[in-house]
Every structure is written in C-alpha cells, then in structure tokens.
C-alpha cells in the first residue's frame, strides 16, 4: 500500500534514533522510496551512513550542503515528498515547529513542504506531560499534523511511562491505513455532538458534568477521514478540532438543540455523544448570588430531550446515540435504543475510572435496533471511534 510513495523521514536527536533505522528498513521493504534528513544531534546516536545504506539514498544533514547545484536541496525535498514522517520527534523539534523556527535542514524543509506530516514523539514521560510540550502538540495538531502517539513502557532514562517511540511496525501500519483509506463516505453529511453543556445559575456559576468530549471528537475525526462532510456541535472543551471538521461551539442544551435541529434535515448520519444536561435552572440570576446563612435551593426545569426529538423526527437519517451508564448497562441501553427510535446505540460504563469521563481509553458495546450486539474491547478512543464508524458503515450498507 506504500509502494511507490515518496516518504521523507525526519530524524531528531534522541535515543530512539535506533528505531528510526528499523523504520527506514520497514518502509523500504513496503515499497516506499525513503529519503532521510537528520539533525546534528541525531547523528550523535547513529551515523548518516547507516540510513544511507538502508534507504539507498543520500542522507541530508546540512542546509548549506547543496548536493546538486541545479537545485535548492530543502525546497527540492519539500516538493518531492508525498508525506513526511518525524520519528523520533523530540520535545525540541516540536517546540521549533510550533513556533516556526527554521534553523537547520530538517526544520527548514518542514516549513517549505505541503505534504502531510506525521509526528511520532519520543521523550521522557515528564517531558511529554509538560504544559509547553502539550501546548506545542496541540498547536501542531490544529494545523493538521497527524500524531502517532508514543507507547507506555520502560524508557531509556529509567522511568516507566508514556514516551516510548511507537514501534516501527505500528508506524508503518498507520501510514498504510491512511494511504489506503477510502472516500466511501464522500458526499455524505455527518453531524456529531460532543462534550458537556453548561446551564447557568448566575453570571459566575453553572451546572455541568464531567464529559471531556474526547469520544465525540474522535468520531468526528474518523468520519472526516472517510471523506464525509462533518459538522461537530460541541459544548465547552479544551480539545483541538480535527482537520476538515466544521466546529459549531455551543454552551447550553438549548443552544445545542437549536444548532442540531437547524442542520438535521440535510444530514445522512447523526452521532450524538454529547452529555446534555437534562435540567436547567428555571430562573437565571442577572447578578452574582451572594453567600447567605440559610440554605439555597435552585428550582430546575426540564431541557428538551434532543435525542428523543431527533428519533421522532428522523426520515432518511441514520441516528446513533450514546448511553453513559453506571449500572445495568445493557438493559438501560436497550430501553433507550427502543424508546428514542434509534438505529444504533453505543454503551459505555462511566463508573470505571480507566474508561470513564476524561479518560483517553474506552470500552463499549455497539447495539443496533435489529438486535445485533458487538463488544469493542478497551482501546484508545481513536481506535474505538474507528471501529464504531466501521460498524455504522456496515449497518448503513445493509439498508
């Protein structure tokens, strides 16, 4: 699936450089033509000659070493690449890219390329969790850089945690999967709701819930990767909107209802993952409520059940709901599936800390109106989203 692809491999200076050698070999075996750019620090770990021998191409290390006087090397490489892979991507490299710094051959080429860029970070677990690194990765993701997350395990520094460069075989699988992704949903319109809602009490207080929006954003990303036109109606989150997804921010349940129903008629598929407040304060105060000695009661009124409304008014749309439960998951899910006239529902146990709200992992059951059940084992929310999108596609094709 990578046969004939021109892949530019950017290697920065970390102990995981030795894995980049194996990655070069795997990509070459898959039929890709690989050219390597190394930073000076990368060359401290492995010599350029090693990559040259494996890739059977010259290795680039110096912006001013023009191997062909008829070409400007970094521009030529930037134009040559079908895709770029940064492995390992150190914290230093991420910081440079996020701030537009071009002070060596690799960063200069990256600013000049229009190819898709895949980033495989590798660093100490505490570095990976540092706010500056997180901020840089968030900025790059917003610009369309695609991240191949590091794995958990023993690190060269002696720590055990997240920060290991993903294995070369897995990086190749990601590239092959993306290269082979179809546009089977081209022309389809998909609406995904995500995140929590906030119901104001006064100018400084509100009722909300623990939803992070991660599952909904992952589903929006995977739907877009199938070629669909995706609309993401999202409550307040700190997440980066996936590339090629139209973001419609909302705050309250009423705002979400308005945005969803305005677009519902033209949608082919609606996936409702948002944790929408069932109730809102009946009266919202104009001024901050001051602390008092007596107890304070807030009278609540029902919000519109958005999913129920969609189920009662759907025509051609395929409608998928989510049920975040803490007990008797299957029975509650089946009841919701039937009562709200859904085509499918995804059930998950939010009482489990390893897969509940704000976790990067999930484990779900996909249930359809014809009685089909498919358990999806614990995995990252992106992996879960990919499997859910596949199961939805199967159901749509069944008619």
pLDDT tens, residue by residue, 125-179? 889 989 999 999 988 987 889 899 887 666 666 666 677 899 999 999 989 877 7
What is the radius of gyration, based on Cα positions, of the chain? Answer: 24
Helix, coil or strand: residue 379: strand
Q: Are 248 and 167 in contact (CB under 8 A)?
A: no
- Looking at the DSSP bridge assignments, the partners of residue 260 are none
Question: Going by C-beta distance under 8 Å and a sequence separation of 6 or more, which residues neighbour residue 262?
Answer: none
Q: Which residues are catalytic?
A: 157
**Comparing C-alpha atoms, which of 175, 275, 173 is closest to residue 215?**
275
pLDDT, one tens digit per residue, over 176-193 is 877 766 578 989 999 999
pLDDT, one tens digit per residue, over 80-91 is 999 999 999 999
- Name the helix (H) or strand (E) containing 368: strand 361-368
Q: How far apart are CA 234 and CA 254, in angstroms?
A: 13
Helix, coil or strand: residue 100: coil
Q: How far apart are CA 234 and CA 249, in angstroms?
A: 5
Q: Are 14 and 122 in contact (CB under 8 A)?
A: yes
Domains located in the chain, CATH noted: 6-180 (3.40.50.1950), 189-398 (3.40.50.10300)
Q: Does pTM top 0.85 for this prediction?
A: no
On the question of a cis peptide bond just before residue 84, with omega within 30 degrees of 0, the verdict is no
Mean pLDDT, the chain, integer: 92
Q: How far apart are CA 265 and CA 283, in angstroms?
A: 32
Q: How far apart are CA 363 and CA 379, in angstroms?
A: 7
């Amino acid at each position: 699936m990578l046969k004939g692809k021109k892949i530019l491999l950017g290697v920065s200076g970390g102990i995981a450089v030795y894995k980049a050698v194996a990655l070069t070999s795997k990509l070459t075996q898959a039929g890709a033509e690989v050219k390597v750019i190394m930073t000076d620090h990368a060359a401290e770990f492995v010599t350029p000659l090693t990559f040259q021998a494996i890739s059977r191409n010259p290795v680039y290390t110096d912006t001013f070493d023009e191997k062909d006087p008829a070409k400007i090397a970094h521009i030529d490489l930037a134009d040559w690449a079908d895709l770029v892979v940064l492995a390992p991507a150190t914290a230093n490299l991420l910081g440079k890219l996020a701030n537009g710094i071009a002070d060596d051959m690799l960063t200069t080429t990256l600013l000049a390329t229009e190819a898709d860029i895949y980033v495989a970070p590798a660093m100490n677990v505490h570095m990976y969790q540092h706010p500056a690194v997180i901020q840089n990765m968030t900025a790059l993701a917003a610009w369309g850089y695609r991240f191949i997350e590091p794995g958990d395990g023993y690190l060269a520094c002696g720590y055990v945690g997240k920060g290991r460069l993903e294995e070369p075989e897995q990086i190749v699988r990601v590239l092959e999967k993306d290269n082979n992704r179809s546009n089977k949903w081209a022309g389809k319109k998909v609406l995904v709701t995500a995140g929590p809602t906030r119901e104001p009490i006064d100018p400084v207080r509100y009722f909300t819930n623990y939803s992070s929006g991660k599952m909904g954003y992952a589903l929006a990303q995977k739907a877009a990767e199938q070629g669909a036109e995706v609309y993401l109606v999202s409550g307040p989150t700190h997440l980066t909107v996936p590339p090629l997804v139209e973001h419609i921010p909302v705050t309250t349940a009423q705002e979400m209802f308005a945005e969803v129903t305005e677009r519902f008629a033209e949608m082919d598929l609606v996936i409702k993952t948002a944790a929408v407040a069932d109730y809102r304060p009946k009266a919202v105060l104009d001024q901050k409520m001051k602390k008092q000695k007596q107890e304070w009661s807030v009278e609540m009124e029902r919000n519109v059940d958005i999913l129920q409304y969609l189920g009662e008014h759907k025509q051609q749309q395929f409608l998928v709901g989510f049920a975040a439960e803490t007990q008797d998951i299957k029975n509650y899910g089946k009841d919701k599936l039937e009562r709200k006239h859904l085509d499918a529902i995804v059930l998950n146990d939010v009482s489990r800390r390893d897969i509940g709200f704000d976790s990067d992992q999930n484990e779900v059951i996909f249930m359809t109106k014809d009685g089909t059940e498919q358990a999806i084992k614990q995995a990252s929310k992106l992996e879960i989203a990919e499997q859910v999108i596949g199961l939805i596609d199967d159901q749509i094709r069944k008619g």
